[in-house]
């Protein structure tokens, strides 16, 4: 028997209840949709409207402004000046001859030149670029007249360097559209530039750009201030140019650093190439300027006392079979550490390195900052090379003591000498002092940063005294400056020849020194790579050091540290 539910059973056949359910469902859907729309409109409005706008529109900038580059004292080194380029759209020109005559007279160019360009181009050609404001004004006045029909004046920029070629290797280049291409210009391109006069635009079906409305924006670009002092830079460049003229080196570098802050005050290179500073990118075997590092390591590690004497092996030392080092510059059987530096003895420095041992010497090289980038923040900085100590042979260890078998950069060497000069602390070198935005915000980038203590204050003092004797009675005599104690070291390193081995006629001469030696204010490094006229560190580079240091000391008003000079 089938049991049926009665037709009028309550809860199943209640029409009113059913209707209210259906109505509820019918209202719920629009309510949910309305709720979602409210949510999107109220909370997600910006996100979706900008998405939609991006899909339809583009923002095109008519212009791009760019900040300047200045030296530490605010002297302009690079600045953009607004100019215009003048072009001709042929099909809109009404009176060809009159337009040619007007342009030739105004722009001071031959009429024939314009006519030639007209004949060679299809529809558009540039008549002149980098038009100065006065001339632009004359051209702009006829734009609405028949004479100006077809003439297009487009804004562009000229990057002007008021000090000419000075520091151009650091500054780098920026193009007429205000885009940085190399050097500091490229590195700080983003904060230095801003697109302005932006217009909302969309493309029509035919591909034409239809401009909509302009956007208002505040200009806020960065001006970059370097630690470079333009006067110090001038002295360094002048001295370097004189040396280049006299000795004709392939390359030349002069670097000036404040040892107490790590600030680079001048960095001159020869030849000058936009954005390619040899001070940070050049690598070389330092030769004898590296002996100070070995001697400092020996004293600081307690391997040798400052007054130690080293046996000279009859001035012909056979390190291993077939590898002999000669000292021809003296006749002594023993040399003190001071004399090793004064006479630049390879045997002495090699024996010192051997006494120290590979592991300790390597760890000091690393502590001084060799074999790694200094993070001075310059594009393309090299890191040099210090091979791991466990691969060194006895010969490797000995030769590294006098600066062969390692490659360093000028910025590494000067920073290491700054550590010797400032009491033993390796300072972070700085090239950019601060970034100043046009809205007033200042970002200081050159606060002195102590990386680590490399040698003790006592070793630093001893080293300064030893290096002072190099200039007083040793190979660095030509770096002497009246009234000031100078400490420094010469270097004459033979270069690896392409055929293998070291070439006698191909060498790097250098001098690195600090002044005043009792409390150094400047550390200066001079490098002349492969001079055509044969020279040594003592005859070629030391005089350049003096030529840079003298006016620097006078300019900064550094008091003499000698009391008995006349």
Partner 1 sequence: MKYVGWLLIFFVFAFIMISIHIGIARSGRVISQLQNEVAIKEARNQYEELEISRLSSPQEVTQFAEQNLGMVEVKPHQVIVLEGTK
Residues that bind partner 1 (CB under 8 A): 75-76, 79, 81-82, 132-134, 136-137, 140, 160, 162-164, 166, 230-231, 234-235, 238, 481-484, 550-551, 553-554, 557-560, 565
In angstroms, the CA 319 to CA 549 distance is 39
The least CB distance from residue 62 to partner 1, in Å, is 13
Question: Measured from the CB atom, is 108 or 563 closer to partner 1?
Answer: 563
Q: Judged by CB, which is closer to partner 1: 149, or 231?
A: 231
Residue nearer to partner 1 on the CB measure, 102 or 157: 157
User: Nearest distance from residue 470's CB to partner 1, in Å?
Assistant: 20
Query: What is the closest distance, in whole angstroms, from the C-beta atom of residue 309 to partner 1 in the complex?
Result: 36
Describe the strand order of the beta sheet including 522-529 as a list of residue ranges.
Answer: 264-270, 251-257, 522-529, 502-515, 487-496
- Tokens of residue 563, six digits: 């009391």
- Residues 198 and 214 sit within 8 Å (Cβ to Cβ): yes
Give how far Cα 512 sits from Cα of 254, 370, 449, 460, 490, Å: 10, 16, 22, 16, 7
Q: How far is CA 111 from CA 117, 123, 199, 314, 395, in A?
A: 10, 18, 37, 82, 73
Nearer to partner 1, 166 or 289 (CB): 166
List, as one string, the DSSP characters of 375-415: ----TT----B---GGG--HHHHHHHHTT-S-BB-HHHHHH
Please state, in angstroms and rounded to a whole number, the distance separating the CA atoms of residues 499 and 515.
Answer: 40
Please say which residue, 441 or 482, places its beta carbon nearer to partner 1: 482
Q: Between residues 115 and 135, which has the closer beta carbon with respect to partner 1? A: 135
- Give me the sign of the Cα torsion angle 327, 333, 338, 342: negative
Neighbour-count burial of 70, counting CB atoms closer than 10 A to its CB (0-12 exposed, 13-18 middle, 19+ buried): buried
- Closest CB to partner 1 among residues 132, 203: 132
CB of 80 to partner 1, least distance (A): 9
Separation CA 358–CA 475 (nearest Å): 28
Select 165 or 329, whichever has its Cβ closest to partner 1: 165
Kindly state the DSSP code that residue 558 receives in the 8-state scheme.
P
Q: Please report how close the Cβ of residue 163 comes to partner 1 at its closest, in angstroms.
A: 5
Token pair belonging to 489: 């070291």
Give the number of other CB atoms < 10 A from CB of residue 447: 11
Closer CB to partner 1, 235 or 364, in the complex: 235
Structure tokens at 59: 């923002």
Distance in Å from the first CA to the final CA of the chain: 139
Query: What is the distance between the alpha carbons of residues 99 and 180, in angstroms, rounded to a whole number?
Result: 35
Minimal distance, residue 538 CB to partner 1, in Å: 22
Contact 173, 185 (CB under 8 A): yes
Contact between 350 and 317 under an 8 Å Cβ cutoff? The reply is yes
- Of 293 and 552, which has the nearer Cβ to partner 1? 552
Closer CB to partner 1, 483 or 503, in the complex: 483
CA dihedral sign of residues 273, 278, 281, 285: positive
The bridge status of strand 450-453 relative to strand 425-427 is antiparallel
| Residue whose CB is less far from partner 1, 356 or 486 | 486
Q: What is the phi-psi region of residue 363: left when phi exceeds 0, alpha when psi lies from -120 to 50, beta otherwise?
A: alpha
What's the closest the beta carbon of residue 560 comes to partner 1, in angstroms?
5
Radius of gyration of the chain (CA): 36
d(CA 531, CA 535): 7
**What's the closest the beta carbon of residue 405 comes to partner 1, in angstroms?**
39
Peptide bond into 271 cis (omega under 30): yes
Q: How many CA atoms lie less than 13 Å away from 331 in the CB half-sphere?
A: 0
CB of 139 to partner 1, least distance (A): 11
- The nearer residue to partner 1, 140 or 395, going by C-beta atoms, is 140
We find the least distance from the C-beta atom of residue 202 to partner 1, in angstroms, to be 26
- Closest to partner 1 by CB, 80 vs 407, is 80
Nearest to 234 by CA among 159, 165, 161: 165
For 349-359, give one letter per residue: b (16+ CB within 10 A) or e: bbbbbbbbebe
CB of 246 to partner 1, least distance (A): 19
Nearer to partner 1, 261 or 289 (CB): 261
| Alpha-carbon gap, residue 265 to 270, rounded angstroms | 17
């Amino acid at each position: 028997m089938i049991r049926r539910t009665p037709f009028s059973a309550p809860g199943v056949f209640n029409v009113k209840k059913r209707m209210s359910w259906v109505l509820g469902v019918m209202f719920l859907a629009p309510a949910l949709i309305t709720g979602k729309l409210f949510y999107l409109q109220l909370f997600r409005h910006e996100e979706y409207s900008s998405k939609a706008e991006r899909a339809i529109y583009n923002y095109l900038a008519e212009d791009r402004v760019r900040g300047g580059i200045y030296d530490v004292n605010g002297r302009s080194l690079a600045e953009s000046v607004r100019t215009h380029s003048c072009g001709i759209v042929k099909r809109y020109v009404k009176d060809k001859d009159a337009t040619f005559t007007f342009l030739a007279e105004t722009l001071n160019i031959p009429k024939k030149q314009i006519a030639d360009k007209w004949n060679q181009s299809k529809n558009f050609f540039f008549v002149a670029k980098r038009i100065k404001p006065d001339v632009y004004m004359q051209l702009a006045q006829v734009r609405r007249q028949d004479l100006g029909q077809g003439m297009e004046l487009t804004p562009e920029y000229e990057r002007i360097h008021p000090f000419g070629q000075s520091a151009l290797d650091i500054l780098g280049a920026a193009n007429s559209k205000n885009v940085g291409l190399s050097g500091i210009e490229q590195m700080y391109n983003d904060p230095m530039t801003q697109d302005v006069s932006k217009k909302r635009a969309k493309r029509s079906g035919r591909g034409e750009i239809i401009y909509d409305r302009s956007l208002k924006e505040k200009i806020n670009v960065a001006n970059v201030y370097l630690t470079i002092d333009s006067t110090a830079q001038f002295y360094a460049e002048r001295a370097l140019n004189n040396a280049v003229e006299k000795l004709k080196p392939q390359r030349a570098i002069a670097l000036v650093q404040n040892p107490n802050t790590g600030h680079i005050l001048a960095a001159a290179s020869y030849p000058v190439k936009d954005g390619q500073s040899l001070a940070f990118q050049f690598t070389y075997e330092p030769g004898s300027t590296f002996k100070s590092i070995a001697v400092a390591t020996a004293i600081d590690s307690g391997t040798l006392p400052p007054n130690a004497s080293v046996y000279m092996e009859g001035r012909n030392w056979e390190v291993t079979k077939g590898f002999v080092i000669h000292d021809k510059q003296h006749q002594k059987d023993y040399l003190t550490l001071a004399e090793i530096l004064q006479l630049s003895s390879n045997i002495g420095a090699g024996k010192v390195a051997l006494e120290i041992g590979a592991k300790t010497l390597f760890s000091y090289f690393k502590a001084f900052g060799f074999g790694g980038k200094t993070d001075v923040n310059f594009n393309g900085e090299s890191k040099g090379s210090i091979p791991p100590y466990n691969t060194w042979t006895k010969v490797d260890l000995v030769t590294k003591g006098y600066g062969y078998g390692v490659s360093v950069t000028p910025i590494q060497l000067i920073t290491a000498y700054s550590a010797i000069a400032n009491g033993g602390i390796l300072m972070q070198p700085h090239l950019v002092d601060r970034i100043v935005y046009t809205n007033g915000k200042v970002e200081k980038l050159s606060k002195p940063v102590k990386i680590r203590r490399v040698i003790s204050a006592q070793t630093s003092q001893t080293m300064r005294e030893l290096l002072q004797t190099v200039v007083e009675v040793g190979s660095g005599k030509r770096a002497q400056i009246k009234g000031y104690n100078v400490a420094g070291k010469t270097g004459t390193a033979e270069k690896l020849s392409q055929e293998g081995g070291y070439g006698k006629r191909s060498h790097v001469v250098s001098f690195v020194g600090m002044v005043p030696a009792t409390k150094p204010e400047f550390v200066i490094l001079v490098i002349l790579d492969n001079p055509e006229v044969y020279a040594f560190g003592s005859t070629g580079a030391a005089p350049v050091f003096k030529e840079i240091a003298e006016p620097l000391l006078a300019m900064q008003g550094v008091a003499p540290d000698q009391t008995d000079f006349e």
